[in-house]
Structure 1
Amino acid sequence: MHLTRFRLNTARGGARRLLASPRAMHAAVMNAFPEVLPTDTDTPRVLWRVDRNAKAEVFLYIVSPTPPDLTHVVEQAGWKQRPNWQTYDYGPFLSRLAKGDTWAFRLTANPVHSIRRGDGEPTKVTAHVTPRHQMQWLLQRQEAAGFRILEKPREQRLLPEGDEYELLVHERRDRSFDKPAEDREAKTKERERQKRRVTLVTATFDGRLEVVDPESLRHTLTHGLGRAKAYGCGLMTLAPVG
């Protein structure tokens, strides 16, 4: 596995177009792997995430089985006179993860749940929209994902409830876009347009965790957590605490 970081040149129109459309960014990422054909049904998982640290400090992270070739992204959204991306062998880091290790983490996810509005009706996937419910979504998945989010010491808790964990939710976004039409006729049909409409609610989580199951955590880091992985969700990265 490989971990890649690419800094986007936000002064360029191409970068702004990619950042405005998860579908366009997904296409740009997948085009970085010439060995993967669009018709492949068993394509190895490629995860990606955009981190907006500041207006002029925006990074694209990619986790992939093979190193990407991002030359085409440089041409539309990078700098031509400097290195734009770095790719690292992810294997040694993953193999060193051990039970009891503590790490800072970041995850952008699509927190959703299934609801049934009435008896006999099918369930419907619905997004969590409040920070409290989005936190609960992650807390409910932490054990199966191989980690435990650390709890704050009591003296550091500012609120009587909802402030127990080393966890922050930010960059909450509500996106809506169309999937590409399969044929020209479908573009003119409202029903088909609604079927192709994608509504995506995302949230970014920053926090601290303890490794409880290294093998499960390795799977989470390389296969993602939650839904909408094609649209920039599910990629968790770790960093030293401090």
Structure 2
Amino acid sequence: MHAAVMSSFADLLPNGGDSPRILWRVDRNSRAEVLLYIVSADRPDLTHLVEQAGWPTTAGWQTYDYKTFLDGLTEGSTWAFRLTANPVHHVRRTPEEPRKRTAHLTPRHQMGWLLARQEKAGFRVLETPADRRLPNGGNEHQLTVRDEQRHRFDKNELSTGQANRVPLVTVTFDGRLEVTDPAALRRTLTLGLGKAKAYGCGLMTIAKVG
């Protein structure tokens, strides 16, 4: 999918170079509904994807100018949001050992990863009203984490050509947020949040609360 998305831009350099960030995410809402979202500086041509999907003459894709929407974000406004991300932290077993990037594997720590980044990202995840909180806690915020996926794939090092086995853990967050810094949130929505952006992580979408 990463290669298919990159192939949607005729002027993109093969190795990325100084090309602007391209974000993408696949939402599998049901067995019969799979949606691909892309945020990019240039308009993509997805003809090859539509042809592979099987309906080249009846199906298509929709593109929108994002700037008008982004410019309309205001401090204090509330939105529903979705984010597929790669929540990680750095650990080491001994003081002498180099720090190693490791995935968070529990919903509590995965939520904590997002909450730790919300201020810098320009938003605040809304808290759950007191009368709707569970007696044993766990739902202090209007936030859920679901659809954990664990992947392993080979990646060749550019410097040595050696293939390394790379683990990747992704989860999807759904919740509600309040805009605290419109400029910072615009950066988050266009540049992404977290690691593994080349593998479908980091793209946050927001929608009106209804």
Q: TM-score range by the shorter chain?
A: over 0.9
CA distance in 2, matches of 1:237, 1:122: 35
| Cα offset, 1:77, TM superposition | 2.1
| Cα offset, 1:59, TM superposition | 0.3
TM norm structure 2 = 0.95
CA distance in 1, matches of 2:157, 2:96: 32
1:155-166 alignment to 2 at 5 Å?
155-166=131-142
Q: Which amino acid is 1:76 matched to?
A: Q
**Change in 2 beyond 3 A, CA 1:138/1:78:** farther
**Long gaps (5+) in structure 2:** none
More helix by proportion, 1 or 2?
Answer: 1
Runs of 4+ in 1 over 4 A off after TM superposition: none
Contact 2:143 2:176 in 1 (8 A): yes
Q: Which amino acid is 2:39 matched to?
A: V
Q: Which amino acid is 1:111 matched to?
A: P
CA distance in 2, matches of 1:162, 1:106: 19
TM norm structure 1 = 0.83
Contact 1:45 1:64 in 2 (8 A): yes
Q: 1:95 corresponds to which residue?
A: 71
Report whether the alignment pairs 1:205 with 2:192. no
| Cα offset, 1:78, TM superposition | 4.4
Percent identity of the aligned residues?
63
CA deviation profile, 1:104-137 (whole Å, cap 9, x unmatched) = 0000000000011101111000000111100000
Contact 1:152 1:166 in 2 (8 A): yes
Q: 1:234 corresponds to which residue?
A: 202
Report whether the alignment pairs 1:177 with 2:150. no
Partner residue of 1:83 out of 59, 62, 85:
59
Partner residue of 1:130 out of 106, 111, 115:
106
CA distance in 2, matches of 1:27, 1:104: 30
| Cα offset, 1:173, TM superposition | 0.6
What is the Cα-based RMSD across aligned positions, in Å? 1.7
SS at match of 2:18: coil
CA distance in 2, matches of 1:70, 1:150: 36
| Cα offset, 1:202, TM superposition | 0.3
Count of residue pairs brought into register by the alignment = 210
Q: 1:152 corresponds to which residue?
A: 128
**Long gaps (5+) in structure 1:** 1-24, 187-191
